Chain A
Amino acid sequence: MPTTEAKIAVVGAGLAGLTLASELAQETSALVIDRLPMYGGVLGYEHPLVRTLARRCEAVRVEFHLATTATRWEGHRVLLVGPTGIRWTPATRLLIATGTRPSTQAEMGISGERLAGVLPAPVAIHLAEAEVTLGHRVTVVGWGNWANRTLEAIRHHGAHTACIPLSDAPGVADGFDESWPGWYPVRVEGRSRVERLILAKDGAEHVIECDAVILAAKPRPLRNVDGAIWPDSPSATFIQPVAESLTAEEVVEAAKKAAAELGSRAAMGSR
């Protein structure tokens, strides 16, 4: 599997990763790594844009390592763990294109214990799609893609839904039974599972009774390759557009721009 030639390793086979690989592999060799057994990331492999990008990758001989996790980066080699084994794989540059995750309870500044029923949106969506009833009164913190996908996944579960959009733009919490624009969550309370979410606004508090709190706000770049966590990591570049709500086209555009920058930097370096 490992070769010694100059190679760019892209972590993440979603829109950003596929775009980067298809652009860069025209000049240099590239490999794409994804945790899931299929490319496409959150959009899935059947999305037309994903299929187009994947065909482009194949045309420029991008090497795919799927169902594979990149765990450590040492500036010149990446540790890949996947179906064919565990291998240090040489690479000249690591591109992190693993998308985003919602902020955690601590990152949101929500105090209180770690209670059952408080779940990150990606977990909540998976469970709800497996027909797990997350709660009878579900409060979603956030208004972007995760909030909408959570609502979609629990729509037929019959729960009362509340949204803390953290935004007062009109229409952001459409579809929820209630919405609390302008309020922000400060504390969870409960015994064996969450029973209340406390909101604050201008010194006032409001209590929402609920048995599930879904964290779907303040996206942060998802980074879990040791050695490629902070912006100053050697030979690592992060292509992770962050916004509450992003279209597929916006992600592709950002990745193309990053690829162009990397390409010209590489060209300058080789001169």
Chain B
Amino acid sequence: MDRADVLVVGGGVMGAAVAARLSQTTARVLLVEEQDDLAEGASKANAGIATSFYGRPGTLEARLIAESNPRWEDLCGRLDVPYRRIGAVMLAVGPREAAGLPAVYEAIVAHGARAELVTAEQARDLEPLITGDCAGGISLPDEGIIDPMRLTVAYAELAARNGATIERSRRVTGFSVADGEVNEAETTGGPVRVTFVVNAAGLFADEVSRMAGGESFRMWPRQGQYWILDRAFGSRLRRLVYPIPMEHTRGAQVVPTTNGSVLLGPSAADTELRLDKATDLATLRWLLEQTRKLVPDVSDAYAIKTYAGNRPAGDEIFRARFDHNIRNLIHVGSRSAGVSVSPALGDHVLGLLRDAGLAAIDRAEAGDAIPTVPRLLNAADPEELPSLDPRYRHVVCACEQVTAVEISAALESRVPATSIDGVRKRTRATGGRCQGSVCMVGVAFLVSQHTGQPPECIRHGGFGGTLGVGHADY
């Protein structure tokens, strides 16, 4: 039977971050993810913002964000994750919003985050594309942008390199519980004897808790839709542009991404359908209207694609604590700030586990970095790349400038891509302007070569659908 000192349930950014930190100790770590890849929930469908404040000041979530924020450059350097501290400008549009600015400012600085009230003119210096109706704003220099999928995969990769076991397509189906403790987890890959369980199941955390005899709580999807605009527009935008937040949402934002494109979103609609990630035209039009109020040049003429994701909303918007009933069950989950707390989350959970008696001693030989793969798209001196690896001369995805090197690295890592979407998550190939109409066959060929599967069996899209349904026997 498999044994784990700590079983992490869920391969989103929070579960992967916890696994990465625990893997640096003597604890034996197993992470299971029911989908066929990591970052299949909110971790792939968010705006990619590493924020410097969120929620109410003084909460654990706010504290972990504050602890995480200064670490980004160092962490992302070690984990080969694109990150840039570009700063945000929050805009008051019209006199009424301007009158509310000081209160918003006070709420932000109460987090300890850096912020500065600015005039409309100063706001325009920060981001020249903002609306002429701007009546003042707040500069937020510690807001950053990050690739959340690369971050999740990198945490898992680090964990795997340190000896943790990362198993995808393995679902927890039940637990055996005695005397207020979980002893064993039943999974689709066989039972696991466990000392501690970390429930990082996102939108499905309530089901995991119920199966383990833990607290009863409810999770529901808060759907967010997004537009992605082309790099040709992104190259003109310098900073994140935020509206004045409302009580329960930060509103639709204009978000430069680490690959140069721009996101508009998210919308926020509480729904009941956990697997529904469909977009609708009315919401998408609304997003355009909202973001145009901030940056008038925003236009669907630049649109590459639209997508939707489900944030794991719950009656408690953030959890990183033990269950009230089951002594060895920890819940970690966040509606909106999973990425932003992740650098400090591992330390926090490790502290909880140690306090509860887990002998997890830091191993001096454990790694804190994964190998860097230079990328053609970001190369300042691209002419030098072939001397590192001749396969850089072979561009597979022209839109995103992804070569055979980046794709092979994704297919050969410890937690490798096994599908077209897996390659897209790790490299951006097929995710650009033409959405794979030129390169998807090439990517499928490389996946086929590495996995030994024929092209029709290669997975594409959500929930494991395949490229084809069979082979024509001729």
Residue numbers of A with Cβ under 8 A of B are: 35, 69, 71-72, 79, 81-88, 101-102, 104-107, 109, 111-123, 126-127, 130-136, 156-157, 187, 189-194, 211-212, 222-226, 229-230
Contact = CB atoms under 8 A, between A and B. Distances in A.
A229 B261 CA distance: 13
Nearest to B456: A132
B278 to A, nearest CB: 5
B466 A79 contact: no
B232 interface: yes
Given A101-B434, A156-B472, A116 B466 contact: yes
Nearest to A101: B437
Given A222-B437, A229-B230, 7 more contacts: A79-B382, A86-B392, A113-B462, A116-B459, A116-B461, A126-B441, A192-B461
Contact of A107 (B284, B303, B393, B472): B303
B308 A81 contact: no
Given A115-B461, A120-B435, A229-B230, A81 B392 contact: yes
A106 B305 contact: yes
B438 A116 contact: no
A240 to B, nearest CB: 13
Q: Report, as a range, how many residues of chain B touch the other chain.
A: 35 or more
28 contacts: A79-B382, A81-B392, A81-B393, A81-B403, A85-B383, A86-B376, A86-B393, A104-B435, A106-B435, A113-B461, A116-B459, A116-B461, A118-B461, A127-B444, A131-B474, A133-B472, A134-B468, A136-B469, A187-B278, A190-B465, A191-B463, A192-B461, A192-B464, A193-B461, A194-B465, A222-B437, A222-B438, A224-B432
Interface in B312-344: none
Contact of A87 (B232, B383, B401): B383
Most buried by B among A83, A134, A224: A224
Nearest to B432: A224
Which 5 A-B pairs have CB atoms at the shortest separation, nearest pair first?
Answer: A116-B465, A193-B465, A120-B437, A116-B461, A69-B395
Interface string B271-292: 0000101111100100000000
B254 to A, nearest CB: 18
B70 interface: no
Nearest to A81: B395
Nearest to B277: A113
Interface of B: 230-232, 275, 277-281, 284, 303-308, 376, 382-383, 385-386, 392-395, 398-399, 401, 403, 432-438, 440-441, 444, 454-456, 459-474
Contacts of A126: 441
A83 B394 CA distance: 7
A163 B303 CA distance: 26
A107 B434 CA distance: 10
Contacts of A127: 441, 444, 455-456, 467-468
Contact of B383 (A86, A106, A135): A86
A189 B463 CA distance: 13
B464 A85 contact: no
A123 B437 contact: yes
Nearest to A212: B469
Contact of A83 (B275, B393, B464): B393
Contact of B398 (A106, A107, A131, A224): A224
B285 to A, nearest CB: 11
A104 B398 contact: no
A167 B385 CA distance: 48
Nearest to B390: A85
A113 B308 contact: yes
Nearest to A114: B461
Contacts of B307: 114
B437 A122 contact: yes
Contacts of B460: 116
A206 B437 CA distance: 27
B401 A122 contact: no
Contacts of A191: 275, 463
Nearest to A131: B472
A132 to B, nearest CB: 4
Given A86-B386, A156-B474, A106 B395 contact: no
A71 B395 contact: yes
A113 to B, nearest CB: 5
Given A86-B383, A86-B393, A35 B471 contact: no
A214 B167 CA distance: 34
A105 B281 CA distance: 12
